[in-house]
Amino acid sequence: MRQLFALTAMSALAVAQMSPLGAQAAAVGIVSGTVNGTNGALAAVTVQALDASGAIVGSAVTTATGGFSITGLAAGTFTIQVVGEAGAVIGASTATLVEGAMLATVTVNATAAAIAAAATAATASTAAAASGAATGAATAAATAAATSSVLTTTAVVAAVGAAAATVAPVISVNEDVSGSR
């Protein structure tokens, strides 16, 4: 009888210790979805999940159809951002995972303004790197445009102006080196 009691107590203890493992496995979340641009799905772009503090907690690269899946996330609210080739944010959305519902699906639409600003930033970054003077103005303009859902003249002018400001050191009109006057 004592042995039976001891065996039952040990079994109960073993099951109780395994319960937290099952709870931890259930707490792993997934954010999946699609990324669309102005002409349809965006393939081969990076999608990042940022936690409330702004830290990147997961990332994925979109498929040919614009699909992505970020796994291994804890419960919480995440900013899901799409990052263009030069590192500028070209679209963003939010997803919330809660215990018991650890799966979220989002669609992120990259705006025309954000894509144009990202292209301008990439051009400006290349020119600035060649001149040895890099600034973040074009990237900041691209990021600001990415958070807007409407293409405005102000956003375009700001992105072009920021890009021009970074390119300016490359062009010098201070002296005529041709020898003619």
**What count of residues does the chain have?**
181
Check whether residue 78 and residue 126 sit in a common domain. no
Number of domains in the chain: 2
Domain that holds residue 150: 112-169
Check whether residue 103 and residue 141 sit in a common domain. no
User: What is residue 114's predicted lDDT score, i.e. its pLDDT?
Assistant: 74
What pTM was estimated for this model as a whole? 0.55
Cβ-based neighbours of 52, under 8 Å, separated by 6 or more:
76, 77
- Among candidate residues 86, 109, 132, the one where a domain is terminated: 109
Check whether residue 41 and residue 105 sit in a common domain. yes
Query: CA angle at residue 175 from 172 to 176, to 5 degrees?
Result: 110
Check whether residue 91 and residue 116 sit in a common domain. no
Check whether residue 101 and residue 117 sit in a common domain. no
Check whether residue 44 and residue 102 sit in a common domain. yes
Check whether residue 117 and residue 150 sit in a common domain. yes
User: What is residue 141's predicted lDDT score, i.e. its pLDDT?
Assistant: 52
> 163 and 142 in contact (C-beta within 8 Å)?
no
Is residue 163 domain-resident? yes
76-83 and 46-50 beta bridge pairing? antiparallel
- For 49-66, the pLDDT digits (tens) are 999 999 999 999 999 999
